[in-house]
C-alpha cells in the first residue's frame, strides 16, 4: 500500500471531532436520468462533515419520464429498479432536511446538482432547509489547479469502481482534503525556497 493510500484511509477512520477541526465539508451528489433540462435525480448521496453518510435511490415522480441511455451507461441503475426500490421524493426530502438541517452543503457539479435539487423538492412540494453551494466557493485557487489530478489519485487509492452518488460524494470530500494538503505543501515549499527575510537596514 502506497503512502497516499494510508492518508486516505486515515481520513476515513478518524474521529468526528478531528474531522470537524480539519474542516471537512459536507458534500452532496446526484445521479440523474440524463443531462438535459428534462432530466431528474434518481439517486442522492451525502457525506457530512462528521463522516455520516446517506444514500437513497429515488422513485421517479409521476411527471418524470425522461431517460438517457448514455447516462444509464454511467450509473448502471435501471428505471425498473428505481420504481421497485426507490424512496418517494417526499421521503428523500424529509431525510435530507433532517440530516443536513440548516447547514451549507457543497457540490463539485453545482450547475447540474442545483437544478436537480430544485426538481426533487418541487416534486415533493417542499423546500430544502439547507443550502447547496459550489465547492469552488471554499476551495483556494491552488486547490482548484490540482483538483482533477488529485481526484483521480483519490479514486485510485480508494479503489472505487462504480459511478454512484454515495461513492462520488465521498471522493469529492476526500479530494477537497487532499487538494488542500497538496496546496499547503506547495506553499510551504515555496516559502522555504525564499529563505529567511533579511533586514534592509
Residue 65: domain span: 3-179
Provide the domain count of the chain. 1
DSSP three-state, residue 100? helix
The per-residue pLDDT for range 47-61, each reduced to its tens digit, is 999 999 999 999 999
Domain for residue 158, yes or no? yes
Domain for residue 119, yes or no? yes
Domain for residue 186, yes or no? no
CATH number where 33 lies? 3.30.420.10
Weakest-pLDDT range from 44-58, 64-78, 157-171? 157-171
Q: Which residue stretches of 125-164 are H helix?
A: 141-145, 147-158
Domain for residue 201, yes or no? no
DSSP three-state, residue 41? strand
Question: What are 169's three cell numbers?
Answer: 460524494
Domain for residue 189, yes or no? no
Domain for residue 190, yes or no? no
Q: Whole-model pTM?
A: 0.82
41-47 β-sheet, strand order:
53-57, 41-47, 27-32, 104-107, 131-134
Mean pLDDT for 77-98 is 97
Domain for residue 200, yes or no? no
Domain for residue 154, yes or no? yes
Amino acid at each position: 500500500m502506497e503512502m497516499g493510500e494510508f492518508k486516505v484511509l486515515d481520513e476515513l477512520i478518524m474521529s468526528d471531532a478531528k474531522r470537524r477541526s480539519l474542516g471537512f465539508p459536507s458534500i452532496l451528489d446526484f445521479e440523474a436520468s440524463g443531462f438535459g433540462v428534462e432530466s431528474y435525480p434518481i439517486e442522492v448521496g451525502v457525506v457530512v462533515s462528521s463522516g455520516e453518510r446517506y444514500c437513497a435511490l429515488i422513485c421517479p415522480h409521476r411527471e418524470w419520464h425522461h431517460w438517457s441511455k448514455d447516462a444509464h451507461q454511467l450509473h448502471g441503475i435501471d428505471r425498473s429498479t428505481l420504481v421497485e426500490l426507490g424512496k418517494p421524493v417526499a421521503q428523500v426530502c424529509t431525510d435530507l432536511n433532517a440530516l443536513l438541517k440548516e447547514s451549507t452543503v457543497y457540490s463539485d457539479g453545482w450547475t447540474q446538482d442545483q437544478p436537480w435539487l430544485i426538481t426533487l423538492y418541487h416534486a415533493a412540494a417542499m423546500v430544502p432547509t439547507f443550502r447547496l453551494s459550489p465547492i469552488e466557493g471554499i476551495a483556494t485557487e491552488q486547490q482548484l489547479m490540482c483538483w482533477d489530478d488529485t481526484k483521480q489519485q483519490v479514486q485510485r487509492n480508494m479503489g472505487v469502481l462504480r459511478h454512484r452518488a454515495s461513492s462520488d460524494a465521498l471522493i469529492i470530500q476526500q479530494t477537497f482534503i487532499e487538494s488542500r494538503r497538496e496546496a499547503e505543501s506547495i506553499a510551504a515549499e515555496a516559502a522555504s525556497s525564499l529563505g529567511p527575510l533579511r533586514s534592509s537596514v
